[in-house]
Amino acid sequence: MRVIKMQKNIFVYKVDRKNETFICTPLAIFEPRNEYHCELILELARREGKVVRVAGVGHSPSDLACTNEFMLRTTHLNRVLTVDKQKRRVVVQGGITLHQLHASLAQHGLAMINLGSISDQTLAGIVTTASHGTGIDYGVMSTQVISMIVLLADGSRVYCSRNEQPDLFLATVCGLGSTGLILNIELAVESSFHLKEVLESRSFEDTLSNLKQLVHSSEHTRFFWFPATDMMRVSMSNRTHETKRPGGSWFYDSFMGYHLVQLLLFLGIFFRTCNTWAGLLASWLVSSASSRVDDSYRVFNVECRYLQHTTEWAIPYENVEPCLRRLRKYFHEILVDPRERPHFPIEIRFSAPDDIWLSPSYNQQTCWIGIVQYKKLFEGSFELYIPTSKISCKCYRKWIRRDCFVTSTCNAISSDYL
Ligand SMILES: Cc1cc2nc3c(=O)[nH]c(=O)nc-3n(C[C@H](O)[C@H](O)[C@H](O)COP(=O)(O)OP(=O)(O)OC[C@H]3O[C@@H](n4cnc5c(N)ncnc54)[C@H](O)[C@@H]3O)c2cc1C
């Protein structure tokens, strides 16, 4: 077992070292290598009267994993334990990252059923926060869990599923790490598959007029809304037997879509109109129809390119249209100040109802609306941008680097705002 470096009896844990979004000073940070180590840490905590907080890779858009007492990082609890190709089930340790999991599953011709925007997180991290992907008939990723082994604070090791210890199971699958340490997860998977993503651009009005039909037009529909041009990029992905055709071009995607847009965003700090140009350029770059076929996880995931703030809300599906109209009105009202214009696409995704106690999708089809802004323009003042707490069931803001992020959280239940 590894205990992280000590500085005058104090351990400093920066969730995002560069931006120092969240910092805590745990008394000790443990990196257990096996279950026995975990039991020892809990025993020590009991004797010392300390609380243990579990941390995955710290990608939560919040200070959830922070603590000033004992921190247990699951870095080394990342093994695949069993693979049942026939039943399409795997048992893995909670600390495995999704990237590691994709690689292991691929060796057995298997893949995760649905995914969110990135694969850097640990499996336990996404399970215990009910992280979501998109697809109106697909639940949040916690719904893929069949059973778990949880180590409780009293040291007991409990197997739970929908049939055995169902209360513990339903509390843990979106328990924000507060019910116990998730040691092992039995996960439903499917045979590995390619996704064909078809992208087309429509006006805001056209999209909203056909919203429900578009949402149901593919297995995994999502929208990227460019408020700068009122254009909606509709992404429709379906399972396919077609061979891989990744698509994309260095000049448009990398040089213009990343470097040039980032330059404009940077200049926007000094010359505000550059923000609008960045939004217009980003929108123009993706204005024509396109399609690609690739491994499922590559299509599910997106590239998080710039230092960003993000806020995301979950709203009941039936409120999507009025909510988006209201949001658009709000943007139009604030357009006078270009610093507050959403110059990145707003990501709109969907999920099926579930029965997980704390899940924002509990008993309801859900729409997720995520907005990002170039971080450098909004140092520490994102609340100015949108009154999130009034609208959200689950909302958060994230600070994202190209492959890393950190955030703070707000949770408010007022879905009747609309
Ligand atoms: C760029 C980016 C994109 C994202 N995209 C999406 C998205 O598309 N959809 C979405 O819904 N979310 C998304 N998220 C949020 C992310 O999926 C969740 O915050 C997830 O919890 C992060 O996992 P982690 O391993 O970093 O957990 P951490 O941030 O380390 O911890 C999160 C919580 O999980 C608990 N936890 C971790 N491991 C265990 C364990 N073994 N046992 C018990 N509790 C545990 C912690 O105590 C804490 O409460 C995104 C985040 C980022 C930064």
CB-based contact 148:182 (threshold 8 Å): yes
Write out the DSSP string of 275-308.
HHHHHHHHHHHT-S-EEEEEEHHHHH-----S-E
What local confidence, expressed as pLDDT, does residue 394 receive? 30
Question: Yes or no: is domain 194-417 CATH 3.40.462.10?
Answer: yes
pLDDT of residue 143: 98
Please tell me the distance from the alpha carbon of residue 190 to that of residue 323, in angstroms, as a whole number. Answer: 35
Distance CA 195, CA 180 (A): 36
**Ligand 1 centroid vs 80 CA: distance in angstroms?**
19
User: What is the torsional sign of CA 127, 131, 134, 136?
Assistant: positive
Among 38-47, 169-178, 188-197, 282-291, the minimum mean pLDDT is found in 282-291
CA 151 → CA 40, 42, 47, 157, 159, distances in Å? 11, 9, 17, 5, 9
Over 60: is that where the pLDDT of 320 sits? Answer: yes
Tokens representing 411 are 């949770």
Task: Give per-residue pLDDT as tens, 78-98.
Answer: 999 999 999 999 999 999 999
- The residues, ordered by sequence, that sit 6+ positions from 191 with a Cβ below 8 Å of its Cβ are 88, 109, 110, 111
Q: How remote is the CA of residue 258 from the centroid of ligand 1, in Å? A: 26
**Confidence class for position 2, pLDDT limits 50, 70, 90:** low
Find out whether 396 and 372 touch, Cβ atoms under 8 Å: no
The string of pLDDT tens digits covering residues 356-388 is: 999 999 999 999 999 877 765 555 433 333 333
The size of the chain, in residues, is: 418
State how far the Cα of 174 lies from the Cα of 360, in Å rounded to an integer.
10
For the CA of 54, the nearest atom of ligand 1: 47
pTM, 2 dp: 0.86
pLDDT given for residue 345 in this prediction? 85
The amino acid at residue 58 is G
**What mean pLDDT is predicted for residues 112-125?**
96
CA nearest neighbour of 127 among 356, 396, 352 = 356
Structure-token pair, residue 265: 């965003």
* Spatial contact of 194 and 239, defined as CB atoms under 8 Å apart: yes
**344: pLDDT confidence band, cut at 50, 70 and 90?**
confident
Q: How far apart are CA 134 and CA 71, in angstroms?
A: 32
Instruction: Please name the residue whose Cα sits nearest to atom 16 of ligand 1.
Output: 60
User: Given the DSSP bridges, would you call strands 28-31 and 70-73 parallel, antiparallel or unpaired?
Assistant: parallel
| 3-state DSSP assignment of residue 88 | coil
How far is Cα 322 from Cα 319, in angstroms, rounded to an integer?
6
In the predicted model, what is the mean pLDDT of residues 98-111?
98
In the reported structure, the alpha carbon of residue 291 is separated from the centroid of ligand 1 by a whole-number distance in angstroms of: 30
Name residues whose C-beta falls within 8 Å of residue 395's C-beta, 6 or more positions apart in sequence. 311, 312, 313, 314, 388, 389, 409, 410, 411, 412
Which atom of ligand 1 lies nearest, measured to the CA of 398?
53
390: pLDDT confidence band, cut at 50, 70 and 90?
very low
Nearest residue by C-alpha to atom 44 in ligand 1:
177
Residues with CB under 6 A from ligand 1: 53-61, 64-65, 74, 94-95, 116-118, 121-122, 124-126, 128-129, 131-132, 176-177, 181-182, 304, 398, 400, 405
Tokens of 137: 């008939």
**Rounded mean pLDDT of 393-405?**
29
* pLDDT above 70 coverage of the chain, percent: 82
The 10 Å Cβ neighbour count of residue 404 is: 18
User: 130 CA distance to ligand 1 centroid (A)?
Assistant: 9
Residue 181 is predicted with a pLDDT of 98
Q: How far is the CA of 123 from the centre of ligand 1 (A)?
A: 8
User: What mean pLDDT comes out for the span 20-30?
Assistant: 82
- CA of residue 201 to ligand 1 center, whole Å: 31
Residue whose token pair is 């055995």:
164
Label residue 396 by pLDDT band (50, 70, 90).
very low
227 band by pLDDT with thresholds 50, 70 and 90: confident
Please determine, for residue 248, whether its predicted confidence score (pLDDT) is greater than 80: no
CA distance 299 to 269: 32
Instruction: Give the CA-trace dihedral at 37, 96, 90, 158, to 10 degrees.
Output: 40
Residue 27 dihedral angles phi and psi, to the nearest 5°: -65, -35
Mutate to test the pocket of ligand 1, among 29, 52, 128, 313 (most ligand atoms within 8 A of CB): 128
d(CA 413, CA 393): 5
Q: φ and ψ at 378, to 5 degrees? A: -130, 45
Q: Which atom of ligand 1 is nearest to the CA of 176?
A: 49
For the structural domain made of 80-191, what CATH number should be given? 3.30.465.10
Q: Say how far apart CA 136 and CA 132 lie, in whole Å.
A: 11
Element (H, E) at 397: strand 395-400
- Which residues is 236 bridged to in the sheet? 198, 221
Lowest mean pLDDT among 6-15, 208-217, 346-355, 406-415: 406-415
CA 399, CA 306: separation in Å to the nearest integer?
9
348 against 399, higher pLDDT: 348
Ligand 1 centroid from CA 55, angstroms: 9
Q: Where are the domains of the chain?
A: 13-73, 80-191, 194-417
Centre of ligand 1 from the C-alpha of residue 59, in Å: 5
Is residue 135 over pLDDT 90?
A: yes
What count of Cα atoms within 13 Å lies in the side-chain half-sphere of residue 337?
9
Confidence of residue 391 (pLDDT cuts 50, 70, 90): very low
Q: Is pLDDT of 310 > 60? A: yes
Q: What is the reported pLDDT for 418? A: 24
Task: Report the percentage of the chain scoring pLDDT > 90.
Answer: 61
Highest mean pLDDT among 19-23, 162-166, 245-249: 162-166
Please state the atom number of ligand 1 nearest to the C-alpha of residue 150. 42
Q: Has residue 407 got a pLDDT over 80?
A: no
pLDDT of residue 109: 98
pLDDT of 410 > 60? The answer is no
